[in-house]
Amino acid sequence: MKDESFPSAPQALLLVLAMFLAEYVVGAALYDARRTLALTREELSALVTLLGNGMLFAVLLHAKALSYRALFHPSRASLRATIVLLIPPVALLVPALVMLAAELSELLVRIFPLSAWEEQAFASMSAANMAAITAVCVLAPILEEMLFRGVILRAFLVQYSRGTAIAASALIFGMAHLNIYQFVIAFLLGLIAGWLYERSRSLVPSIALHALYNTSLTVVESSSRGSQAESAAPASTTIWVLSLAASLVGALALNRLLARSSRRVVA
């Protein structure tokens, strides 16, 4: 039988620890083989993430008696309709989120200067190579949404009120990033992704939001390395206004679409 109440909040924290442990075990197993396999650091990291999470989900979905189809799209709405109707307005939310993330990051770095290790870690995540881009823009959105929305939030919605379930899953999502610089924006992203999942009962909108956000941030960070700050400053107000306007349009469209559909979906 399916256990829709697993995990509880304490169990969810243990699941996150299990994810890190699985990645550590896979990383340790592959570390000595990386030269034989001719893997770069970024390629090894992406492979460790994929295999570690694969191990976790193989056990987790078996324990919950869930198929991947039921995990990704348990909604009664068709997958095609979900993609066509929801992804465009979701995309409109991204520019403002990226700009907000940049402002928050700059503020936090001023308050809490980055250590040498943290600078290296963030540089590795934003490296302009295929392995790093795949890990950040493809693997992370899919695997993290599977765990934090598809498993954790899904169970929380059975046990807690909607607001508590979404906020708690977003808090755990933010904490899982293990640094203050990503926590705030990850928490905000988790709230939006959680609302999208609760209303649509599909991982498609939250994966799209996560992937588009990560991709946009990667593009912005890559392009900013070769740009001059003074040339971007005069356009900042205009960009903010356009981004906020796009987000408002996207939010209104999503609220209208999902307010009606939320009554017909299943948990």
Q: Average pLDDT over the chain, rounded to whole?
A: 87
Q: Which of 2-6, 18-22, 42-46 has the lowest mean pLDDT?
A: 2-6
d(CA 1, CA 63): 9
Q: Is residue 215's pLDDT more than 50? A: yes
pLDDT at res. 227:
55
In contact, 147 and 14? CB cutoff 8 Å: no
Q: Which of 67-71, 195-199, 205-209 has the lowest mean pLDDT?
A: 67-71
pLDDT digits (tens, 9 = 90+) for 150-200: 999 999 999 999 999 999 999 999 999 988 888 999 999 999 999 999 999
Question: What mean pLDDT do residues 51-65 have?
Answer: 92
In contact, 212 and 138? CB cutoff 8 Å: no
CA-based Rg of the chain, rounded to a whole angstrom?
A: 19
Question: What mean pLDDT do residues 221-235 have?
Answer: 55
Confidence band of 236 (pLDDT split at 50, 70, 90): confident
Spell out the domain ranges in the chain: 9-227+235-261
Q: Is residue 23's pLDDT more than 90? A: yes
pLDDT at res. 1:
54
Confidence band of 30 (pLDDT split at 50, 70, 90): confident
